[in-house]
Amino acid sequence: MAQTFPDRRGLLIILSSPSGAGKSTLARRLREWDETIRFSVSATTRPPRPGEVGGKDYHFLSESEFKARVTDGGMLEHAHVFGNFYGSPKAAVEEAINAGQDVLFDIDWQGAQQIRNSALSDHTLSIFLLPPSITELHRRLMDRAQDSDEVIARRMQKSWDEISHWDAYDYVLVNDDLDTTETQLKAILTAARLRRTQQPMLTDHVRKLQTEFEETQ
C-alpha cells in the first residue's frame, strides 16, 4: 500500500519540456528520490500496444467512454492527438492528493493550462525544462538514432512550439546539467510542499493558538 501523509495535501506536479530536453530522465530521478510520488496514468482511446497493461501504462477506453467522462467532468485535462484522445482521469488524482500523495504529470503546455484552470489549480506545481541550446536539442534527438530526418524535423518544430509557452509555468529550468537540474527540482518540490495550501492542519493549529491566547487575557 502506498504511503500517505494525512498532515499535508499532495501536489499535482506538472513537468513539461520539448522532446529531448531530459524530462523522462528527470521524472525517473524524482521518483527514485521519493518513491511515494505517483505517476499519473493517462486514459486513451488508442488500442493497447504489445506489452502494455491496462491501468498501468494507460487506462484504455472506447471513444464513447472517454467523451462521456469529459462531459461528466471526469478528466482534468484532455486532448486529441493523431486521431486518438488522451486525458488525465480526475478521481484518482483527487484521491491521491487528499491522502497527501504527490502526482507527477508528463503533459504538454495545453494539458498544463487545463489543469491550472481546474478546481485543483491551488495544488498545482508546474515546471518547464529548457534545453541549453537548439543545437544541443537537435543533437540529442539525432543521438537517439530512432527517427528519420523528416521525423526529427517535425519533432524540432513541435519542440519550438512547446518552448514558446515557457512563460506559462511556475518554474523554468535550463537543463544543461542533469545533476544540477535534479537538485533544483528537489528544492522546488520541497518548498512547494510547505505552501499554505498544502498544509490543511494549519487552520486548526491557528485556532488552537487563538484559544490559548484568549485564555491568557
206, burial (CB in 10 Å: exposed 0-12, middle 13-18, buried 19+): exposed
User: Looking at residue 216, what is its pLDDT?
Assistant: 92
User: Looking at residue 1, what is its pLDDT?
Assistant: 45
* CATH of region 12-212, choose from 3.30.70.260, 3.40.50.300, 3.40.630.10, 3.30.420.40: 3.40.50.300
Distances (CA, A) of 4 to 37, 40, 60, 76, 129: 10, 16, 27, 22, 29
**Spatial CA neighbour of 147 closest among 20, 27, 60:** 20
Q: Residue 30: what are its φ and ψ, rounded to 5°? A: -60, -45
User: Looking at residue 125, what is its pLDDT?
Assistant: 97
| Per-domain boundaries in the chain | 12-212
Q: What is the pLDDT of residues 124-175, one digit of tens each?
A: 999 999 998 998 888 877 876 566 878 888 888 888 999 999 999 999 999 9
- The residues of the chain scoring below 50 in pLDDT are 1
Q: What is the pTM of this model?
A: 0.85
DSSP β-bridge partners for residue 43: 59, 87
Alpha helices in 14-75 (DSSP H): 23-33, 63-71
User: Looking at residue 60, what is its pLDDT?
Assistant: 97
| Cα–Cα distance measured from residue 98 to residue 55, given in angstroms and rounded to the nearest whole number | 21
H/E element, 60: strand 59-60
Alpha helices in 37-177 (DSSP H): 63-71, 90-98, 109-116, 134-143, 149-163
